[in-house]
Amino acid sequence: MSMRNLNYIIKLIKETYLLDLLLIVLLVWTPGCPLTTSRSTDLSNGNSNNNNININPGKPPKEPPPPKEPPPPKESPPPKETPPKTITQDSITYVVLTQDNIAEKLTSSSINLNNNYLLWEDIDLTGIQIDPIGGGPALQGFRGKFNGNGKKISKFSLEITSTSSSIKELGFFSSIEPEGKVFNLILENPQVLTVRTRTEIVGILAGLNKGIIQDVTVNNGIIEGGNKIGGLVGQNSGEIISSHVEKTTIRANQEGGGIAGHLEGKSDQQLALISKSSASGRIISIGANVFGGLVGRMTKYSKISMCTANITIDEAKHEKIGGLIGIVNASGELEIIENSYATGNLKGKMYVGGLIGKIDTPITIVQSYAVTNIGKDQSSQHIGLLVGRWTNWNTVSHIKSLYYDKTKKQQKTLSVIGSTDKNMPSTIISTITQGLDPSTITKKDFIDFDFTKTWKGTDHEWPRLFWENN
């Protein structure tokens, strides 16, 4: 074969190969091509052949999202701490009271009246009818220390329905002895009910207090019955300090007060004291005849200092109604009211005063005021912006810096003091009392008020006590 023929054959082979290759490429890029369809189907079915070449010009398949991490396991609550049987604080050993053991002790009268007790946790006594601590035929009172530890006892119920009951003093404690102390405790939604004429002295915390009550609060209570009845105690002959009765309804038979129905000390060295305390709520008359926002009846050797009351007394059909005290009566044996005030709403038949319903003894009243709303009808007598009736005035009395709101429309027809006896000079009233307009008052108007330790406030408002939070 000649060289020329050989070259021709080689050229022909090359051209034929290139044409075949071009034909294959055109087939692959043509839609519906079996090769393309087969490869795409294999990929969509998850089949892969490493020997095949993916020549599909479409978008590559999306990568699957990463798997979600499982949520962290929930932490189980820490195991409940097992309370000890006793605990020592400030060198005092207390028996520990818990939700599990207090109900049994309060329903079986197994509280030792000489022991000290401490609340370990909040206590709910819903549906449990408890017995008062102490009392009984021997009229024994609590002589230990009861440390509430800042905890609360909720929804306890005391109810005396039998007219033959021998209980004379009723409350969570029947009475607290001079050695006893109850402190740092909250009573929430308590209820104390008794036959009106059988139980003499009734209070939510205690019937009678001769010891110390400090930092105790009663919230949303209901109490009814008794001759001396109070939102905290029926009668106070000891000390009540920094304690408060809030939003409580008191259905009083004879002597009723937001804190105490009756206040009476033993001597000038053993005063019955209420200090830095307050009451709010409502007193409803179910009998006669003495009702006060803080105290019903204040008698000998007693003192009220830095206290406030905001009580509504609107169903009292009888007499001696006061925004702070219903009546002050004794024989001049050291009755002191200082740095206190009353607000609220009052209505009664006779002896109604914004601060005190009736005074018939020499007394000390200084640096105090009343801005109560006083209602009256045609039959009302002896109604005063500060005092309803004031008798037995003499020079032993020490009265100074008493104020009232002179702008209240319903009070423009009322006297500062509803009535007096002949012993009280008519000129004295203007020297011991002063009406103020709250829109123009300044702190300088309140003579001898201590605005560094006792009172606080700004111009154009009535001052408040320094210990009040708001």
pLDDT at 55 over 80: no
pLDDT at 425 over 80: no
C-alpha to C-alpha distance for 393 and 424, rounded to whole angstroms: 5
Per residue in 354-372, pLDDT tens? 999 999 988 999 999 999 9
138: helix, strand or coil: coil
Distances (CA, A) of 225 to 17, 170, 202, 371: 120, 10, 7, 29
> How many Å from the N-terminal Cα to the C-terminal Cα in the chain?
123
In the prediction, which pLDDT does 107 show? 72
Label each residue of 321-376 as H, E or C. EECCEEEECCCCCCEEEECCEEEEEEECCEEEECCEEEECCCCEEEEEEECCEEEC
pLDDT at 22 over 90: no
Average pLDDT (234-246) is: 98
pLDDT at 411 over 70: no
Residue 274 has phi, psi (to 5 degrees) of -125, 120
Residues forming a β-bridge with 106: none
In the prediction, which pLDDT does 60 show? 67
Per residue in 137-192, pLDDT tens? 556 899 999 999 999 999 999 988 665 566 788 999 999 999 999 999 999 999 99
In the prediction, which pLDDT does 41 show? 45
Residue 122 CA to chain centroid, in angstroms? 15
State how beta strands 201-203 and 255-257 pair: unpaired
Task: List the one residue out of 446, 441, 436 whose CA is nearest residue 459.
Answer: 441
